[in-house]
Structure 1
């Protein structure tokens, strides 16, 4: 059975030290629900580049790319191995599709990648290749790049897009209010289109989705982009299943969608 592709919201960096329903869900997902993959390929919202980049390290450092958080968050390490052979295979796939790319050594995993993976695979023993996103590309181009990697799922590689569907830091409610109605309406609209695999509407979400300016502000489109990369990796079977939907700080959505094989 092929591995699915996943879109996973990484929420606030404090997810790294949290112990709530979403953390419990991610632990269950990685350790019980999914078949253990031989490797993970993860597109992170926190690596935005006009050139497609990918890691090629033997072992990853842990990047603490956030500021003003509890001190304990800066001592966390997630020393997952890399897999240079898989990086080369991905590069060959990009090359065969005429996509310019560049392997990168020594960067490490940013928190968009390691926070999610640490919850799912806490032993840090599954090889990881991190890939950049390009928030300036159109959704259809982002989807096409994900599609280039669809065959990896048949090789027991789990493809993940890590970001956030509703990600507007300027509209957060630090008091922990109930979910904002506009955020729920946006997420529900996206969910309806995903359920129908309605690419036409999804590719035009900036014009069609309700409350899109609040949900995906111009300064945070990189957090929405991983959705399309993950979807593209499941283009061959085009099935979507919502696994989780929740919120923190009123409007920061915590969504997880499974694409492809739904068993």
Structure 2
């Protein structure tokens, strides 16, 4: 069974309690799907110099943030891993000529567990992790996705978790007005996703307006290209669009070939 790869803008951990509509969108989408065999998660907060795949008998929950409400530090997501799916992913990457290693890390960062807690709160679906590569570009992440696309056809839900815009220095905690440069960036990306203009997307740094203002570093956008590659040419469908805190685009996309 094919599971459309997803790109989710995960926001801060307080997205679960601050009234954002995004978690309800994630949950509704999960509820619309059959039960996946496993989830393969690339989080913008799991960084490495080469592809690392992780599985654990029981994942710990890493509270990799500070200054948030105390209740968020009590949240847990004790999902298990799946060594069989990990081995399948390793084999697919090797077949594509990509050198990947097994990572013995035992915890999920908030880019992984925040959306998963909203989508599958029982933590009863195995989770495999794949590192984001901050020294590699959009095309390299697209190729990673292409290499693993077969898993999406075999019951694995592939998720890239990042953020459509991510300039934390420009956020307005008081709920200030939507910044036009953030909207322009998100609108440009949305149109290219709807058009399935992969070459333009992969060249985003040169083509998209306000690229550096929205992504002073690109690790939160790279999971988008991973999900795009895993879709293997299927057109993006917008699940949610919206800007929070003035400049944080919380866009979510499913790559299932459906019309927008």
Shorter-chain-normalised TM-score: which range?
over 0.9
Report deviation, 1:181: 1.4
Distance in structure 2 (CA, Å) of the matches to 1:200 and 1:28 = 31
Partner of 1:225: 222
- Correspondence 1:158 to 2:157: yes
Deviations 1:94-145 (A, max 9, x none): 1112211111224311100000000000110011001101122121111001
Q: Which one of the candidate residues 238, 242, 246 is aligned to 1:242? A: 238
User: Superposed, which structure 2 residues align to 1:28-43 within 5 Å?
Assistant: 28-31=28-31, 33-43=32-42
Report deviation, 1:56: 2.2
Partner of 2:5: 5
- Correspondence 1:65 to 2:61: no
Distance in structure 2 (CA, Å) of the matches to 1:63 and 1:70 = 15
Report deviation, 1:7: 0.3
Unaligned segments of structure 1, at least 5 residues: none
Partner of 1:189: 188
Compare 100-109 and 46-55 and name the one that shifted more: 100-109
Report deviation, 1:261: 4.4
Secondary structure of the structure 1 residue equivalent to 2:101? strand
Distance in structure 2 (CA, Å) of the matches to 1:182 and 1:241 = 23
| Conserved 8 A contact 1:40-1:128 | yes
Distance in structure 2 (CA, Å) of the matches to 1:262 and 1:58 = 36
Distance in structure 1 (CA, Å) of the matches to 2:122 and 2:212 = 39
Distance in structure 2 (CA, Å) of the matches to 1:70 and 1:149 = 37
Partner of 1:125: 124
Partner of 1:87: 86
TM-score with structure 2 setting the length: 0.95
Partner of 1:24: 24
Distance in structure 2 (CA, Å) of the matches to 1:16 and 1:99 = 36
Distance in structure 1 (CA, Å) of the matches to 2:192 and 2:105 = 39
Partner of 2:15: 15
| Conserved 8 A contact 1:61-1:106 | no
User: Superposed, which structure 2 residues align to 1:128-143 within 5 Å?
Assistant: 128-143=127-142
